[in-house]
């Protein structure tokens, strides 16, 4: 690379000290790449603009949205939008493909961390961990007998969305002698049987599961995948867990199912509105565990995500096809073919 390429990193990846949340070591991926100059965007932005696309050849994006309007101007020089994370619902992927802008994400570092938080939620709900913490802190020791937990042996775990993360959760859950069910129209029975799970339709999963975990990608097919009908068909006394995206769940329907006592409890790392509204009834429920879309965030997870994402930028600007392209149709775009070798 003889030309100098400009790379921007959105500032919403910085912690309160102004340090990258993924640690400085990952930045060596950019520092060691010839012909690349990088910087943080001058300010925190909610979404990228045409000015950003005109200034940078690549942008590493954390939470900022990337609308189609950002790449609609004639002076767009942007070649790649690299998402810090597995989800890409914040990026207008069809518009990027149409404009000849590659979108990448970081799926490989995510299965273990997200599966771990789902399992953490299962164990915490089963043992009524948060409630018993409150009993201890508020001097209600004598209420222990009225708050018995649920043993896991022989119980049923149902996973909706059995991609990399879902299969990792199912594999890890086998340790607890749980009966494992999975629903995913895009995963075959053999793959699921390999991790000890049985593929079933969604109605069967909801009816038979003591714990239902949702882990699908968010798209129009999965928006409000769990609504009034689905919660009504869940086993009475079951627990619901969402570690996917907030809009996968109709929160009003979930709140109603919890208030009626049909569901024993829920655990949510994500919400329909983020940051969550302080008046959201879910925050006041003793049988609901809530975390701020960050429970899987660890030094290991973020470092691996950053190395994967920043490497995709280096490969793209070096004329190589990056490993984790969201829509591979973009590789046939004339603009991409002009500078990216080995299209597939």
Positions marked active-site = 245, 274, 293
Q: Please enumerate in sequence order all residues whose Cβ is within 8 A of that of 230, keeping only pairs 6 or more positions apart, or say none.
A: 202, 206, 253
**Rounded Cα distance, 23 and 54, in Å:** 28
8 contacts 56 by C-beta, under 8 angstroms: yes
Half-sphere exposure of 76 (CA within 13 A, CB side): 22
**Backbone dihedral angles phi then psi of residue 306, each to the nearest 5 degrees:** -65, -45
**Rounded Cα distance, 156 and 303, in Å:** 34
Residue with tokens 């895009």: 186
Radius of gyration for the alpha carbons in the chain, expressed in angstroms and rounded: 22
Half-sphere exposure of 98 (CA within 13 A, CB side): 12
**Rounded Cα distance, 293 and 81, in Å:** 22
136 contacts 339 by C-beta, under 8 angstroms: no
**Rounded Cα distance, 70 and 152, in Å:** 49
234 contacts 266 by C-beta, under 8 angstroms: no
């Amino acid at each position: 690379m003889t030309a100098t390429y400009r790379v921007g990193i959105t500032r919403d990846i910085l912690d309160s000290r102004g340090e990258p949340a993924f640690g400085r070591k990952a930045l060596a991926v950019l520092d060691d790449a010839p012909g690349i100059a990088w910087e943080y965007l001058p300010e925190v932005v909610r979404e990228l603009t045409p000015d950003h696309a005109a200034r940078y050849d690549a942008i590493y994006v954390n939470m900022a949205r990337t609308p189609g309007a950002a790449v609609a101007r004639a002076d767009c020089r942007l070649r790649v939008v690299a998402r810090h994370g597995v989800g890409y619902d914040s990026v207008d992927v069809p518009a990027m493909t149409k404009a000849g802008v590659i979108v990448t994400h970081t799926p490989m570092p995510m299965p273990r961390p997200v599966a771990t938080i789902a399992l953490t939620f299962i164990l915490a709900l089963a043992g009524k961990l948060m409630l018993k913490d409150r009993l201890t802190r508020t001097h209600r020791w004598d209420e222990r007998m009225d708050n018995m937990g649920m043993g896991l042996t022989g119980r049923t775990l149902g996973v909706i969305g059995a991609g990399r993360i879902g299969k990792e959760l199912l594999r890890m859950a086998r340790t607890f002698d749980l009966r494992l069910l999975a629903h995913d129209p895009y995963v075959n029975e053999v793959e699921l049987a390999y991790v000890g799970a049985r593929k079933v339709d969604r109605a069967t999963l909801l009816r038979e599961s003591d714990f239902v975990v949702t882990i699908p990608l968010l798209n129009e097919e999965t928006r409000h995948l769990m609504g009034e009908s689905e919660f009504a068909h869940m086993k009475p006394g079951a627990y619901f867990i969402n570690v996917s995206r907030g809009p996968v769940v109709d929160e009003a329907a979930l709140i109603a199912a919890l208030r009626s006592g049909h569901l024993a409890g829920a655990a949510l790392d994500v919400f329909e509105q983020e940051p969550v509204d302080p008046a959201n009834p879910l925050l006041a429920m003793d049988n609901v565990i809530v975390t701020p879309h960050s429970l899987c965030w660890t030094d290991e997870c973020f470092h691996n995500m950053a190395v994967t994402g920043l490497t995709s930028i280096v490969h793209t600007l070096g004329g190589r096809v990056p490993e984790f392209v969201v829509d591979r149709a973009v590789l046939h775009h004339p603009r991409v073919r002009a500078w990216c070798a080995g299209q597939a």
